[in-house]
Amino acid sequence: MLLVNLGTPDAPDARSVRRYLAEFLSDRRVVELPPIAWQPILRGIILTTRPKKSAHAYRQVWTQAGSPLAAITAAQAAGLQERLGPEVRVEWAMRYGRPAIGAGLERLQAAGCERIVLAPLYPQYSAATTASVVDKAGDWLRMQRWQPALRTLPPYHDDPAYIAALAQDIGRQLDALDFVPEVLLLSFHGMPERTLRLGDPYHCHCRKTARLLEAALARPQLRVVTSFQSRFGRARWLEPATDQVLVAEAAAGTRRLAIAAPGFAADCLETLEELAIRGHEQFTAAGGEHFHALECLNAGTAGMAMLETLVRRELAGWR
């Protein structure tokens, strides 16, 4: 099986970030504009200005093990391999950057795997994430004379195992705080609003996850709010925006706030820098006092048990 997450540059420097962004922002699933209109903007403006700023952000979260996203995804693959045993070969890949999806599929094929579960680690389906992973796997399959059988892990935004894992892990982290939050902000990655109008179910999936998680947490004293982060460009994105909610909550008198990112399977730039660092600055600058960014499920016990449940379900009949 192949676990797949979004991607990361090889290093926290402008050159590596530029290469990563060029691949990411050239994906027609991510930017749904005609290349003849988009590529001059990408090459002439974005890739000449954004890499330096993004590299600075990556340097703030980079670890001795490298990219947090890559290190955590590798740990998830290793943990899943241990849980599933030698009958199942587990590899991992990134949609953008390295290790590439094609390389991961080649390793599995070289190991003799004729039946492969492709597992995009996106709980909420979006054409810009899940579908793009399937597209890339399809590109590799088209080049193979002898194709392995392929199954794709479906979105699991409302799966009882996922909701239970979130509730258990978030509840544990809330109980360990040295303050009692008034608000739990659930921040999901944003998407352009037009994707909702075009029929992408992502917004509905996020909202359903938030509703089910609030019910599972069963903390009536805790107000749960949903928002969307990482706006990019001038187009209107899904609302409310996380940065605006943080400022508005503090301005309205909220002094104690915790933030979680249940749509991310692993901590990454968007959680460690955008939420934990910049989010903290935004909340406290507007008058907030206590702020904490909760960890994602990562390779923790609750998250790994959930992944094992989902994967075993997809492997049924193949072992």
As a whole number, the mean pLDDT across the chain is 97
* Domain 160-293 CATH (choose: 3.30.70.260, 3.40.640.10, 3.40.50.720, 3.40.50.1400): 3.40.50.1400
What pLDDT, on a 0 to 100 scale, did the predictor assign at position 319?
A: 64
Give percent of the chain with pLDDT exceeding 70.
Answer: 100
What pLDDT, on a 0 to 100 scale, did the predictor assign at position 109?
A: 96
What pLDDT, on a 0 to 100 scale, did the predictor assign at position 233?
A: 79
What pLDDT, on a 0 to 100 scale, did the predictor assign at position 211?
A: 98
* 149-174 confidence digits (pLDDT tens): 999 999 999 999 999 999 999 999 99
Average pLDDT over residues 81-96: 97
Three-class DSSP labels, the chain: CEEEEEECCCCCCHHHHHHHHHHHCCCCCCCCCCHHHHHHHHHHHHHHHHHHHHHHHHHHHCECCECHHHHHHHHHHHHHHHHHCCCCCCEEEEEECCCEHHHHHHHHHHCCCCEEEEEECCCCCCHHHHHHHHHHHHHHHCCCCCCCEEEECCCCCCCHHHHHHHHHHHHHHHHHCCCCCCEEEEEEECCEHHHHHCCCCHHHHHHHHHHHHHHHHCCCCCEEEEEEECCCCCCCECCCEHHHHHHHHHHCCCCEEEEECCCCCCCCHHHHHHHHHHHHHHHHHCCCCEEEECCCCCCCHHHHHHHHHHHHHHHCCCC
Average pLDDT over residues 33-57: 95
* 129-148 confidence digits (pLDDT tens): 999 999 999 999 999 999 99
Q: Whole-prediction pTM value?
A: 0.96
Say which range, 183-197, 228-242, 262-276, 285-299, has the weakest mean pLDDT.
Answer: 228-242
Give the span between the Cα atoms of 85 and 252, in whole angstroms. Answer: 52
Question: What confidence tier does 270 reach under pLDDT thresholds 50, 70, 90?
Answer: very high
Domain positions in the chain are: 160-293
pLDDT of 213 > 70? The answer is yes
What pLDDT, on a 0 to 100 scale, did the predictor assign at position 251?
A: 98
pLDDT of 12 > 80? The answer is yes
What pLDDT, on a 0 to 100 scale, did the predictor assign at position 317?
A: 86
* 203/317: higher pLDDT: 203
* 193-207 confidence digits (pLDDT tens): 999 999 999 999 999
* 93-117 confidence digits (pLDDT tens): 999 999 999 999 999 999 999 999 9
Question: What confidence tier does 74 reach under pLDDT thresholds 50, 70, 90?
Answer: very high
pLDDT of 312 > 70? The answer is yes
